[in-house]
Amino acid sequence: MARKPPISNNVRELREACGSMTQAELGDAIGVTRQTVIAIEQGRYSPSLESAFRIAREFGVGLDDVFSWDED
Amino acid sequence: MPFQEKSAWIMTLALLLGGAFYFMTVISMSSAMGRLASPNIPVVVVYTIILVLISILGHTLIALFSPKEANARIDEREKLIFVRASSISSYVFGFCVITALGYYLISNDGDFLFYSVFASLMLAQLIEYVVRIALYRTSI
């Protein structure tokens, strides 16, 4: 199967800092399922650019504050 | 477990049971006749009924337990999963059908051609659902 994408993220930390927003709530806000939010948090799925921007906007931060590129 | 993954499990089960019924029936008919039985409509109809019944009952059950997810549209990750699974399945179908046609050119056995193409269709569908399940559980 596919390799893990070389992108890490702080979605879980930002979600928890945001008054313990649930994965389902974040999913509803950005238009994906709870399972997709789980896959993003676990680094098993890299969201589309549109969803990445939606996530950043939801937390009121920049894209770089949510996602980062892993060199290895 | 996402609704679409549950759906894939149901369809996998339906295809396995339907396929088992179909080929067990063909094998028993062929053993009784002493040669490969010709394809017949009633067996295909029963196979289709098994598939449709399991599919309807299974989907009704999972929709009752998670109505919100059942009504939700598939999201971007699920679309990607569907496309990858469908792509792999189409390669399997193409390979099996070409093999079956090649064998027909040698054997000239039309009955065997029907069964092998029908089996290719079942196998390709089965692989599509199995790949979906695998992709739901791994990275994509």
Nearest CA in chain A to B139: A44
Nearest CA in chain B to A46: B140
State yes or no: ipTM above 0.90.
no
Pairwise pLDDT comparison (B32 vs B73), residue with the higher score: B32
Task: Compare CB distances from A36 to B75, B134, B139 and report the shortest one's residue.
Answer: B75
Amino acid type, A53: F
Residue B82 at interface with chain A, using a CB cutoff of 8 Å:
no
Map out the domains of chain B as residue ranges.
3-138
pTM of the full structure: 0.84
Residue B111 at interface with chain A, using a CB cutoff of 8 Å:
no
Q: How far is the CA of A44 from the CAs of A41, A55, B41, in angstroms?
A: 8, 16, 46
As a whole number of Å, the CA-based R_g of chain B is 18
Cα angle vertex B57, ends B85, B15, to 5°?
A: 40
**Chain A environment of B2 (Cβ under 8 Å):** 33, 35
| pLDDT, tens digit, 9 for 90 and up, residues A16-55 | 888 878 998 999 999 998 889 999 999 889 999 999 999 9
Evaluate whether B5 touches B131 at the Cβ level (below 8 Å): no
Local confidence band at B68 (pLDDT 50, 70, 90 cut-offs): confident
